[in-house]
Amino acid sequence: MLTIENLTHVYGNGTRALDDVSLTIPKGMFGLLGPNGAGKSTLMRSIATLQTPTSGSIRFGDIDVIREPEKLRRVLGYLPQDFGVYPRVSAYDMLDHMAVLKGIANGRERKDTVTALLHQVNLWPVRGKALAGFSGGMRQRFGIAQALIGNPELIIVDEPTAGLDPEERNRFLNLLAEVGENVVVILSTHIVEDVTDLCPRMAVLAGGKIQLEGAPTDLMHSLEGKVWRRTIDKAELAEFQKRHNVISTRLLGGRTVVHVLSDGHPGDGFERAPGGLEDVYLATVAASRRAA
C-alpha cells in the first residue's frame, strides 16, 4: 500500500508541479492519467526517490520514502518516461549490469534472472545486440525487464507507451498486465486506453492536483447520460464554446465533432453520446483548466 499525503513540489523557477497531492494506492495496477505537464513525472520521480519533494510525505508499507530512500529502492522497479542507453553495450550486458546494481550478487542467480527476463520480454534473440540500435518498443521492453529484476514490490512505469506504434504498445501492455497482480504498479500515462485496458483503479492529475480518483467503471457511470455530441462546422466552434461546457472537439471528415457536458439536454441539436473514460478524463481536465 502506497500512501501519499499532502505532497507539494515547487521547482526552483517557482513552478508548482505538485500541489497538495494525497493518494492511497493499493496492490494492483493503478492508472495515473494526466495531460502533458500535469506533474505526473514529478510525482513518479518523487515516489521513485529521484527527487525530494518540497513538503508532504510518501509511505510505502513501513518505509518512509523521503527519509529512507535507500530502503524503498530495495523494493522498487522503475521505468522512467525517457531513458537512454550506453553506447556499445549489449542488452544482455546492460541487464546483467542492472542486476548487479540491484543487488543480485551471485553470478549464477544473475544469469538466471537475466535469462528469464530477456525471455519474458521477448528480447532473448537480440540479447547480444547493442541497445542503442533498438526500436522504441524494444527499448521499453528492456526497460520493463530491468524494472522487474529482484521481485520489486512497487513498480512505477512512467508514460511507457508514448511513441510506440499500436502493435508495440499492445505487446507492452500484455507484458505489464502479467506483472501487476500482487504488487503495487503505478502506470502513469496520458493515453486513456492504457488505463481503460489495464487498471482497476485510477486517478486524474492535472495542474499538479488530483482531480479525480476511483475505479474507471465507477467514474464512467458518473457521467452516464451527461455527455452530448454534435457535428458542427469549424466556424461555429467559438460560438458553441461560449454557450456550452465543451469538453472535447475532434475533427471527423473535415467537420468538427464537439462533446459537451450537461445534466440535461443542451438543445442546439445535440444528441446523447455514450460516456467513455475519455470523456471523464477530458471533462476533468477541462474543468481543472477553467478553475485555474
Partner 1 sequence: MFGKIASFEFRYQLRQPAFWVIAIVFGLLAFGAVASPNVSLGSGGNVHKNAPYALAGAHIIFNVFFMLATTAIVANVIARDTQTGFGPLVLSTRITKGAYLYGRFLGAFAAVALCYLSIAIGTLLGTFMPWVDPETIGPLRLGDYAYAYLVFGLTGVFLTSALFFTLATVTRSMMATYIGVVAVLIAYLASTGALGSRPEFETAMAWAEPFGSGAYALVTKYWTAAERNTLNPPLEGVLLWNRVIWTAVGFALLAAAWALYRPSPKGAKLRKQERLKALVETDAPPAAPVGALPRPSYGFRSALTQLVSRTRFEMALVFRSPAWVVLVLLAFAFAVATLFFTGEIYGAPILLVTRVVITALMGTFGLISMVIAIYYSGELVWRDRDRRTHEIVDATPTPDWTFLVPKTLALALVLISTLAVGVLAGVVTQTIKGYTDFEFDKYLFWYVLPQGLSFTLLAVLAIFIQSLSPNKFVGWAIMVVYLISTIVAVNMGFDHVLYRYGAGIGVPLSDMNGTGDFARFNAWTDAYWTAFATLLLVVAWGLWRRGTETRLWPRLKRFPHRLAGPAGLVAGVALVAFVGLGSFIYVNTNVWNDYRSRDAREAEQAAYEKALLRYETTPQPSVAHMQLAMDLRPHQPKLTTRGTYVLENRTDAPLREVHLRWTEDLDMVRLDVEGAAVAREWPEFEYRIYRFAAPMQPGERRTVTFETVLEQRGFRASGNTTRLVDNGTFVNNMEFAPMIGMSRQGLLDDRSKRRKLGLPAELRPAKLEDETARGRNYIGADWTTADITVTTDANQTVVAPGRMVSDVVRGDRRTSRFVTESPVLNFFSVQSAEYERTARMHDGVELVVFHDPDHDRNVPRMLDALAASLDYFQANFSPYQFRQARIVEFPDYASFAQSYPNTFAWSEGLGFITDLSDETKIDYVTYVAAHEFAHQWWAHQVVGSDQQGATALSETLAQYSALMVMEKLYGREQIRRFLKDELDGYLSARGMERLEELPLMRVENQQYIHYQKGGLVMYLLRDQIGEDAVNRALRRVLAQYAFRGAPWPRSLDLVAALRAEAPADKQALITDLFEKITLYDVKITGATATKRADGRWDVAVTVEARKLYADGEGVETEAPLNETFDVGLFTAEPGKGVFDEEDVILLERRPIRSGTQTLRFVVDREPEFAGADPFNKWIDRNSDDNVRPVG
Cβ neighbors of 277 (< 8 A, separation 6 or more) are 192, 195, 196, 216, 219, 220
- Our finding on whether 218 is near partner 1 (CB under 8 A) is no
Smallest gap from Cβ 12 to partner 1, in A, equals 6
| Cβ closest to partner 1, residue 123 vs residue 280 | 123
Phi and psi for 148 in degrees, rounded to 5? -85, -5
* Least gap, CB of 18 to partner 1 (angstroms): 14
185: Cβ contacts below 8 Å, ≥ 6 apart: 28, 29, 30, 155, 156, 157, 176, 179
Beta carbon of residue 45, minimum distance to partner 1 (angstroms, whole number): 6
Nearer CB in complex with partner 1: 16/129: 129
Q: Which is nearer to partner 1, 121 or 261 (CB)?
A: 121
Using the rule CB under 8 A, which residue among 3, 8, 22, 51 binds partner 1? 51
* Window 154 to 183, contacts with partner 1 (CB under 8 A): 171, 174-175, 178-179
CA 10 vs CA 43, 55, 80, 191, 285: distances in Å: 12, 9, 20, 26, 21
Q: In the stretch 69-88, what mask flags binding to partner 1 with x, by CB under 8 A?
A: -x--xx-x-xxx-xxxxxxx
* Contact residue for partner 1 among 31, 32, 58, 110 (CB under 8 A): 110
Task: Tell me 66's DSSP state.
Answer: T
Give the torsion sign (CA, 83, 87, 93, 96): negative
CB 64 within 8 A of CB 235: no
101 vs 291, beta carbon nearer partner 1: 101
Query: According to the binding rule CB under 8 A, does residue 185 interact with partner 1?
Result: no
For the segment 259-278, give every residue that binds partner 1 (CB under 8 A): none
Among the residue ranges 19-27, 133-141, 202-210, 272-280, the one whose residues contact partner 1 (CB under 8 A): 133-141
Nearer to partner 1, 74 or 255 (CB): 74
* Interaction between residue 149 and partner 1 (CB under 8 A): yes
**Nearest-approach distance from CB 94 to partner 1, in angstroms:** 9
Residue 14 binds to partner 1 (criterion: CB under 8 A): no
- Encoded amino acid at 114, one letter: V
CA distances from 77 to 59, 82, 134, 180, 199 (A): 16, 15, 21, 12, 18
Is residue 288 involved in binding partner 1 (CB under 8 A)?
A: no
* Residues near partner 1 (CB under 8 A), total: 59
Give the angle subtended at the CA of 45 by the CAs of 42 and 46, to the nearest 5°: 85
Which of 6, 15, 106, 217 binds partner 1 (CB under 8 A)? It is 106
Strand order in the sheet with 201-206: 76-79, 154-158, 184-189, 28-33, 201-206, 209-214
Spatial strand order of the sheet with 271-272 comes to 246-252, 255-261, 227-232, 271-272
* Angle formed by the axes of helices 91-101 and 107-120, nearest 10°: 130
Interacting residues with partner 1 (CB under 8 A): 12, 45, 48-52, 70, 73-74, 76, 78-80, 82-89, 97-98, 100-106, 109-110, 112-113, 116-117, 119-122, 125-126, 129, 133-135, 138, 143, 146, 148-151, 171, 174-175, 178-179
